[in-house]
Chain A
Amino acid sequence: AQSVSQHNHHVILSEAASLELGCNYSYGGTVNLFWYVQYPGQHLQLLLKYFSGDPLVKGIKGFEAEFIKSKFSFNLRKPSVQWSDTAEYFCAVIEDYKLSFGAGTTVTVRA
């Protein structure tokens, strides 16, 4: 079964800095991938998803992710973060209708 690893447990940034969060899935073939975000006190929300096509996927709130098949990676990026991007970010892969999540990365943006 697919599994997901997220390399960074906690990232601390200043506003306007660029953000990149790593995500790797365990094996190849056709994969469908997601990034979800959990803002403090809120529910898990979909940021973006990749099913097929252009490997550079744009999501909400200025986020994007790049699917690199050769590296089994689906890294999340944002060129310039804001204080409101403080949240926990989860990468996930879907297989047999089941989402498998990484452990999450807590992002703290300092004003």
Chain B
Amino acid sequence: ETGVTQSPTHLIKTRGQQVTLRCSSQSGHNTVSWYQQALGQGPQFIFQYYREEENGRGNFPPRFSGLQFPNYSSELNVNALELDDSALYLCASSLVGAGPNQETQYFGPGTRLLVL
């Protein structure tokens, strides 16, 4: 167990709806990253939050947005859901500060989203 928790574990939505996924970081970590893992593929980076600001973003449209709170927990929001958004959404927490690219990310169990 990494200490990273996510909720809910499973979610079913219909196309066009909006969804919010939640993540609690491991104690002592200050950064949260979100990844999308489609079936049979490796996780794809969505974005990272550090000090409550977006610190980097992958190749995802603006309808994917996030927040980080003062306690370092985080939310991923997806608007106007599409069928292709069906995937496992992973949250990872880390401690940034050891140097560039020196962080180790620890993953939560994920939220499985199905869009019908």
A→B interface (CB under 8 Å): 4, 30, 32, 34, 36, 42-46, 49, 51, 90, 92, 94-104
Contact = CB atoms under 8 A, between A and B. Distances in A.
A97 B56 contact: yes
Interface in B75-106: 90, 92, 96, 100-106
> Does more than half of chain A's interface fall in helix, strand or loop, or is it mixed?
strand
B110 A43 contact: yes
Given A43-B107, A43-B108, A96 B101 contact: yes
A98 B104 contact: no
Contacts of B35: 99
A97 B49 CA distance: 10
A44 B101 contact: no
A99 B56 contact: no
A67 B93 CA distance: 25
A44 B43 contact: yes
Interface of B: 2, 4, 31, 33, 35, 40-45, 48, 50, 55-56, 58, 90, 92, 96, 100-110
Query: A36, A92, A99: which has the most chain B beta carbons within 10 Å?
Result: A99
Contacts of B31: 97
A95 B100 CA distance: 8
B43 A97 contact: no
Nearest to B90: A44
A85 to B, nearest CB: 19
